[in-house]
A and B are shown apart, each in its own frame.
Chain A
Amino acid sequence: MPALRELQAGVRTAILAGDERTAAAAVRPDGLGAAARLAVYRHHVFASLTAALESIYPVIARLVDPRFFRYAADRYIRAQPPASPCLFEYGASFPDFLAAFPASRRLAYLPGVARLEWAMNVALHSPDTPPVEPETLRALPVLALHPSLTLLVSPWPIDAIWRANQPGAVETAVDLHAGAVRLQIWRADDEVVFRGLSPGEFAFRDALACSGRLDAGAEAALAADPDADLVALVRRLLDERVLVGPGARPGW
């Protein structure tokens, strides 16, 4: 009988790698074989984690064949099992995994759509953070965008693909060559929403997010679009209530 630590490492290998030699030797067969008994646990781990990924990535699951989704999930779970028991945090690297997954290389827009779905998941679960009020703006040396907010750029029309694959959506053809999209995904009044940003507004918010400074945002906005209306850009940040004080990014 191995010590507890070795036994648990053996069960991990049985579940994630399918190699049951260490674990099965420690299990009493008792009518039903050790492998069949371990398989009950293995099945639950994969079924529940696949379901967790499907709940975060419903459009990806819809875009591919169900068997393909289960196959991709199976490979992903083996390679990158959850690090935390909070399953709403599981799957951050699934878009990158899909981008490198040879079997889905033909669907070039898949990782981008997955990034949109992950950003929506982050928006749903991010902490509640009060926005900066206009009168306190000058007093804050460093600013940040709301922790629910993600800025995303994609060469594919991932927003149109997402909309066309919602339950009950009217069947529409998506022009895959419609050009790049720049999106902002965030939570507003408890609803997860996204909208497209112009190149100037995207550059403004992206630079602000990276530097924490409005002047850096303004510089980037003018570089992207010499006609950018800086006053309007700042006003919209405040109106959308997505500007917050420092130290408000989530830890995951």
Chain B
Amino acid sequence: MESGIGLRAPHVAEVLATRPAVGWLEVHAENYMGGGPAIRALEHLRRDYPLSLHGVGLSLGTAGGLDGGHLQRLAALAARLQPALVSEHLSWSTVDGAYLNHLLPLPYTEETLAVVAEHVGRAQDRLGRRLLVENPSSYLRFEHSPIPEAEFLNALARRTGCGLLCDVNNIYVSGANLGDDPDAYLDALDPAAIGEIHLAGHAVNDADGRPILIDDHGSRVAPAVWALYARALARFGVVPTLVEWDTDVPPLAVLLDEAATAGALLERHGGRERDARAA
């Protein structure tokens, strides 16, 4: 299985012109909800590449209810592009009609689980397909958040039938910021639910004299995150893997090189799986 890249606006023309050897493409759904040249370019590309639609604005964790109009736009886009995968986040962004452009954290409680599960169910009904839900990168934990995040995601998958998008970099970033063990987090996720893996770079910033990792998707994947990715493959098997880059977007070749590194790990792991089956 080949790895994919997150397709961003600065690379669209080059990908259209050169059709690089990459397994698949993922785009942020909200960037294609208008008309014009952007969506038409994507309609061309989807003939040559499997496509994944990654939503960033559905706000599955909003207590006040899902934005039905936005869900409708996502469903219309999915119907138009027929992507192989559709994913969203375990987070919230919208409150009382204001969209706070960020994947904001949730307290992991039974109340939150009921809210998110209802919204995932509604989204899956409207989309007519399984949604993948991604673990967020976190900079805080709420006082009252008794359910561990991995367990919360497993419960969400069990309750709604959704799959999980395991962002390995996010696990690493949250682990460093909240003092959790990334290996233990990974080991706690239900392997059967994992439908996609994300990889990206992060920044190390200073917050009041203490390092804080920022999930800025602005550099190459860190060595520790590659190690965590190898562990994820060993545990989950071969899973479609995507490399994302959103800040200081580099030349396309750099992104393709990162995707090739992920592809080589996937290939090696696929070989091992085949050997194990043959034995």
Using CB atoms and an 8 Å cutoff, list the residues of chain A in contact with chain B.
1, 3-5, 7-9, 11-12, 15-16, 26-28, 30-34, 36-41, 44-45, 48-49, 52, 81-89, 124-128, 147-148, 187, 190, 250
Known: A27-B143, A28-B143, A32-B207. A86 touches B100 (CB 8 A): no
Q: Are B57 and A85 in contact (CB under 8 A)?
A: yes
Q: Which of B100, B140, B143 sits near A37, CB closer than 8 Å? A: B140
Nearest Cβ distance between residue A187 and chain B, in whole angstroms? Answer: 7
Known: A26-B142, A36-B207. A52 touches B101 (CB 8 A): yes
CB nearest to B115 among chain A residues: A4
> In this assembly, does B126 line the interface, its C-beta being within 8 Å of a C-beta of chain A?
no
**Top-8 shortest CB links A-B:** A85-B57, A125-B34, A127-B35, A1-B144, A37-B140, A5-B63, A4-B63, A40-B139
In the bound complex, residues from chain B placing their C-beta under 8 Å from that of A1 are 107, 142-144
The A-contacting residues of B in range 69-111, CB under 8 angstroms, are 70, 73, 92-102, 104-107, 109, 111
Q: Are B210 and A85 in contact (CB under 8 A)?
A: no
Q: Are A85 and B142 in contact (CB under 8 A)?
A: no
Known: A37-B140, A41-B104, A44-B102. A125 touches B36 (CB 8 A): yes
What is the bound-complex CA distance between A169 and B151, given in angstroms?
A: 57
Q: Are A45 and B179 in contact (CB under 8 A)?
A: no
In the bound complex, residues from chain B placing their C-beta under 8 Å from that of A16 are 98, 100
Q: Are B40 and A128 in contact (CB under 8 A)?
A: yes
Nearest Cβ distance between residue A56 and chain B, in whole angstroms? Answer: 13
Using CB atoms and an 8 Å cutoff, list the residues of chain B in contact with chain A.
30-31, 33-38, 40, 56-59, 61-64, 70, 73, 92-102, 104-107, 109, 111-112, 115, 139-144, 178-179, 207-208, 210, 212, 214
In the bound complex, residues from chain B placing their C-beta under 8 Å from that of A7 are 63, 107, 142
What is the bound-complex CA distance between A8 and B107, given in angstroms?
A: 10
Q: Are A127 and B98 in contact (CB under 8 A)?
A: no
Nearest Cβ distance between residue B155 and chain A, in whole angstroms? Answer: 16
Nearest Cβ distance between residue B97 and chain A, in whole angstroms? Answer: 6
What is the bound-complex CA distance between A11 and B106, given in angstroms?
A: 11
Q: Are A12 and B98 in contact (CB under 8 A)?
A: yes
In the bound complex, residues from chain A placing their C-beta under 8 Å from that of B92 are 8
In the bound complex, residues from chain A placing their C-beta under 8 Å from that of B144 are 1, 26
Q: Are B102 and A86 in contact (CB under 8 A)?
A: no
Q: Which of B36, B96, B104, B107 sits near A187, CB closer than 8 Å? A: B36
Q: Are B96 and A12 in contact (CB under 8 A)?
A: yes
Nearest Cβ distance between residue B120 and chain A, in whole angstroms? Answer: 15
What is the bound-complex CA distance between A71 and B97, given in angstroms?
A: 23
Q: Are A84 and B64 in contact (CB under 8 A)?
A: no
Q: Are B31 and A88 in contact (CB under 8 A)?
A: yes
In the bound complex, residues from chain B placing their C-beta under 8 Å from that of A126 are 34-36
CB nearest to A187 among chain B residues: B36
In the bound complex, residues from chain A placing their C-beta under 8 Å from that of B95 are 8-9, 11-12
CB nearest to B41 among chain A residues: A190
Q: Are A81 and B100 in contact (CB under 8 A)?
A: yes
Q: Which of B99, B104, B214 sits near A85, CB closer than 8 Å? A: B99
Nearest Cβ distance between residue B68 and chain A, in whole angstroms? Answer: 13
27 examples of A-B residue contacts, CB within 8 angstroms: A4-B115, A9-B95, A27-B140, A30-B141, A30-B178, A37-B140, A37-B207, A40-B212, A40-B214, A41-B104, A41-B105, A45-B100, A52-B101, A81-B99, A82-B98, A83-B97, A83-B98, A83-B99, A84-B99, A85-B70, A85-B93, A85-B94, A86-B30, A86-B33, A125-B38, A128-B40, A190-B37
CB nearest to A251 among chain B residues: B69
Q: Which of A11, A32, A87, A148 sits near B30, CB closer than 8 Å? A: A87
CB nearest to B246 among chain A residues: A48
In the bound complex, residues from chain A placing their C-beta under 8 Å from that of B93 are 85
What is the bound-complex CA distance between A15 and B141, given in angstroms?
A: 16
Having A44-B102, A83-B98, A84-B70, one finds 7 other A-B pairs with CB under 8 Å, namely A1-B142, A3-B111, A8-B63, A26-B144, A48-B102, A127-B36, A250-B35
Nearest Cβ distance between residue B93 and chain A, in whole angstroms? Answer: 7
Nearest Cβ distance between residue B87 and chain A, in whole angstroms? Answer: 15
What is the bound-complex CA distance between A34 and B207, given in angstroms?
A: 11
What is the bound-complex CA distance between A3 and B102, given in angstroms?
A: 21
What is the bound-complex CA distance between A250 and B94, given in angstroms?
A: 23
What is the bound-complex CA distance between A36 and B177, given in angstroms?
A: 12
Known: A1-B143, A36-B208. A11 touches B35 (CB 8 A): no
Q: Which of B142, B144, B214 has the most CB of A within 10 A?
A: B142
Q: Which of B34, B64, B109, B112 sits near A86, CB closer than 8 Å? A: B34
What is the bound-complex CA distance between A14 and B207, given in angstroms?
A: 18
